[in-house]
Amino acid sequence: MADLGAIVRAVGDRYLASRATTPFQRKALRAIGRCRTEAMGSIDAVCEECGREHRLYRSCRNRHCPRCQAGAREAWLEARTRELLPVPYFHVVFTVPEMLNPIALYCPEVFYAALLQAAGNALLDVGRSQLHANLGVLTILHTWGQNLSLHPHVHCVVPGGGISPDGRRWIAVRKPSFLLPTRVLASRFRTLLCQALRAAADSGGLERLPRNAPPHLTIEGAGTQAWLVYAKPPFAGPEQVLGYLSRYTHRVAISNRRIISLVNDQVTFAWRDYADQSRMKQTTIHAEEFLRRFLLHVLPDRFVRIRYFGFLSNGRRARSIERIRQLIGHVASRPVGERAKPAVLCPSCQALRYARQQQARTVRSPPREEAA
């Protein structure tokens, strides 16, 4: 069966021997290649249907592995469910000109931090000027297009309203279908991001850029182009918000279900062209080129790709949400059901049952990771 792990095991060593890679890219490749194989060790489990014992290999838990995101996503969603407010929620997407891609490629930790900060603060600034309220913003960084090209953008989820400057009123959006003017958001976003990148260039934070992409010329050239901010219609309710978040928060550049085949070092994968969404397309490329594209989207270690601003910021979120519920007369939080346990498909009887874990059986200790 073709999946990302199989591609890494097939050509990963060859790729690492012939291509320049960063420590965190090498760490991700090696983790994904070992995921749920003997290299990670195993545990014994018993099927509750047929009673047969079988072996489960451990997962790598790397955040870029498409097989290891379900648990982290469910835990995160459980916490966010408790924080939902009975107000409309809006989805806003910030994109940047392609001219800035070299900065994202060579200085990802600087560029992506500035990108998230500019998107969050643009919403806060325009919310204060247009709505006269302090908003709350959840930002999620994505770096890819459907065909694995480099396409940095930020998805934002914004409750439809904010707290008045004196903290005594909840100010709702003026129209239930309209949050803020996108042209104003785009202008403010461009100003904030260009300012941050100029400051980084002046302090030496962009010194890894190649000579054919001088930082100030790149930034000024991008500043003259049109910047797009897209605001989707508001979600129909809190359930739709959670459905959206479950698809976007812990997504990786490509899921295994989009990988169709690996034959003679050629990878075929499916992707959707957003200019023509009538059908999925297929592309076949060499496996090493496939890994090169995938590694464009491996983030530096410890980089936080989900960030919060305004009344949703980490230091004040709990107090702010309690206060907002009091202001709008809705104090009770949403009930949270018990998290689903991981289900296991028994290889003997094919029954989908919860497996009882027995004592761990280590096949082989995984090799030590190199320091990133």
pLDDT tens digit sequence for 239-296: 788 777 777 788 899 999 999 999 999 999 999 887 676 678 999 999 999 999 999 9
Greatest alpha-carbon pair distance for the chain in Å reads 67
Examine residue 264 and state whether it is found in any structural domain, yes or no.
no
Tokens of 201: 């260039």
The whole-number pLDDT of residue 364 equals 40
Q: Please tell me whether residues 104 and 18 are part of one structural domain.
A: no
Q: Please tell me whether residues 48 and 187 are part of one structural domain.
A: no
Q: Please tell me whether residues 55 and 124 are part of one structural domain.
A: no
pTM of this structure = 0.86
Q: Please tell me whether residues 97 and 245 are part of one structural domain.
A: yes
Examine residue 263 and state whether it is found in any structural domain, yes or no.
no
Domain containing residue 214: 83-253+303-327
Examine residue 27 and state whether it is found in any structural domain, yes or no.
yes
Cβ neighbours, 10 Å, residue 105: 17
Q: Please tell me whether residues 231 and 129 are part of one structural domain.
A: yes
The whole-number pLDDT of residue 365 equals 40
| Residues 52, 42: Cα–Cα separation, whole Å | 16
Average model confidence (pLDDT) across the chain: 87
Q: Please tell me whether residues 54 and 150 are part of one structural domain.
A: no
Examine residue 292 and state whether it is found in any structural domain, yes or no.
no
Lowest-confidence range among 168-182, 229-243, 248-262?
229-243
Write out pLDDT tens, residues 81-110. 888 999 999 999 999 999 999 999 999 999
Residue 134 has pLDDT above 80, yes or no: yes
Higher pLDDT, 194 or 48: 194
Examine residue 334 and state whether it is found in any structural domain, yes or no.
no
Which residue type is seen at 253? A
Q: What is the mean pLDDT of residues 157-181?
A: 93
Residue 362 has pLDDT above 60, yes or no: no
Examine residue 353 and state whether it is found in any structural domain, yes or no.
yes
Torsion of CA 192, 196, 197, 200, to 10 degrees: 180
Q: Please tell me whether residues 244 and 145 are part of one structural domain.
A: yes
Higher pLDDT, 347 or 67: 67
Contact residues for 94 (Cβ-Cβ < 8 A; gap 6+): 115, 118, 119, 122, 153, 154, 156, 185, 189, 229
Q: Please tell me whether residues 60 and 91 are part of one structural domain.
A: no
Write out pLDDT tens, residues 349-358. 765 554 444 4
Write out pLDDT tens, residues 302-345. 999 999 999 999 989 999 999 999 999 865 544 444 444 555 56
Decide if 53 contacts 44 (C-beta within 8 A): yes
Lowest-confidence range among 10-14, 125-129, 364-368?
364-368
Contact residues for 306 (Cβ-Cβ < 8 A; gap 6+): 76, 138, 139, 140, 141, 249
> Predicted confidence band at 360 (pLDDT cuts at 50, 70, 90)?
very low
Q: Please tell me whether residues 50 and 186 are part of one structural domain.
A: no
The whole-number pLDDT of residue 106 equals 95
Q: How many domains does the chain have?
A: 2
Q: Please tell me whether residues 94 and 197 are part of one structural domain.
A: yes
Examine residue 271 and state whether it is found in any structural domain, yes or no.
no
Phi first, then psi, for residue 307 (nearest 5°) are -130, 160
Q: Please tell me whether residues 113 and 227 are part of one structural domain.
A: yes
Examine residue 298 and state whether it is found in any structural domain, yes or no.
no
Residue 74 has pLDDT above 60, yes or no: yes
Q: Please tell me whether residues 58 and 159 are part of one structural domain.
A: no
Higher pLDDT, 369 or 11: 11
Higher pLDDT, 326 or 80: 326
